[in-house]
Amino acid sequence: MKALILSGGKGTRLRPLTYSGAKQLVPVANRPILFYCIDNIAQIGIKEVGIIISPETGREIKEAVGNGSLWNIKIQYIIQDIPGGLAHAVKVARDFLGDSPFVMYLGDNLIGGGIDRFLHDFERNSPDALILLKEVEDPKNFGVAEVSANGRLIRLIEKPDEPPSNLALVGIYIFSQNIHRAIEMIKPSKRGELEITDAIQKLIDMGFTVESFILDTWWLDTGKKDDLLTANAIVLDEWLKGSINGSVDGASKLLGRISVGKGSVIKSSTIRGPVVIGENTTIEDSFVGPYTSIGNNVRIKNSSAEHSVIMDGSELRDIERMEESLIGRRVTLLRNSRHKALRLMLGDDSVVEV
């Protein structure tokens, strides 16, 4: 069994943040989203992992992930020159995959738990594809499955105008080698891409076995700001372990589960968890509320922030209240007026005065 993780694409839904970085490396609870995907792959014992990268952000992915030694796996990077769709990514990875069955994992998807049980089902039943489904409020934005009353998969449709159900395809799949035959037989969609939903539908049409599993835990496609903030909140709530490795003075109050990295200093401030604070960060005369992730080398003074992600090297000064915001790297946020609240998404190297 091998794994293929898709970390290409342009990240248009997270712009302007992703003009200068890969969307899969945006942090959730101070770890890149992509790392959680690799965690799940490594935990089921897969050792050979291919990562699809784009020419624009591939070097950044390589620098962050390395050769896989952090997870005791071997990584091969595969360039997808154009964003030609998920099935196109499988096609360009054909030499790496060979005739092995494989897990395909979208590098910006998070689920509430591991994938071992899905792999066990695949190994026990030997289908040609195992897909995960999840009920969603707006299925028009996803690949959608139509399932019979007895749970049999009937058909799949990519981003339908009139969805036959509210069951969306989660960005995690397990395939046999027969998926390659199906991909060779499909044509580009109206978006000009080779859709993995069309390839799976082709397997069904050819009489191959396709099984589905309705996910009973949370699933988030973190391609948009609000989804990313929700993922950050869930991960902090469920997985954060409190630890204080920095300096906290006697005038400060720490309430709930809080992680403070090495070299960080908290002075005359209140931190209400769950909150994670990176290394060499200073928080002074401030309030940091629940579900906030603060990166390394951040400076926060005389400010209030909650339910936000603040990335490395940024500074908040005299911000009366900031909430539900995604702040990129090396952002400077100053205040010179008295508006009550700020809701922001700022790209790298920004300077904002409000």
Instruction: Let me know if the fold of 2-235 is the same as that of 240-353.
Output: no
Q: Which residues of 251-284 are buried (b: 16+ CB within 10 A; e: fewer)?
A: ebebeebbbbbeebbbbebbbbbbbbbbbbbbbb
pLDDT at 11: 47
Terminal Cα-to-Cα distance of the chain (whole angstroms): 53
The DSSP string of 155-204 is EEEES-SS-S-SEEEEEEEEE-THHHHHHHH----TTSS--HHHHHHHHH
Number of helices (H), then strands (E), in the chain? 8, 32
Q: Is 40 helix (H, G, I), strand (E, B) or coil?
A: helix
The residues near 97 (Cβ < 8 Å, ≥ 6 apart) are: 2, 4, 50, 90, 177, 180
pLDDT at 86: 95
The residues near 276 (Cβ < 8 Å, ≥ 6 apart) are: 29, 30, 236, 240, 258, 259, 292, 293, 294
pLDDT at 23: 82
Record the pTM: 0.89
Domain ranges in the chain are 2-235, 240-353
pLDDT at 221: 79
CATH class of the region 2-235: alpha beta
Distance CA 264, CA 108 (A): 29
Q: What is the DSSP letter of 296?
A: T
pLDDT at 88: 97
Mean pLDDT by 10 residues, the chain (354 residues): 88 50 87 95 97 93 96 97 94 97 95 92 95 91 85 85 92 97 94 92 94 90 82 93 95 97 98 98 98 98 96 94 91 74 69 64
Fold of domain 240-353 = UDP N-Acetylglucosamine Acyltransferase; domain 1 (2.160.10)
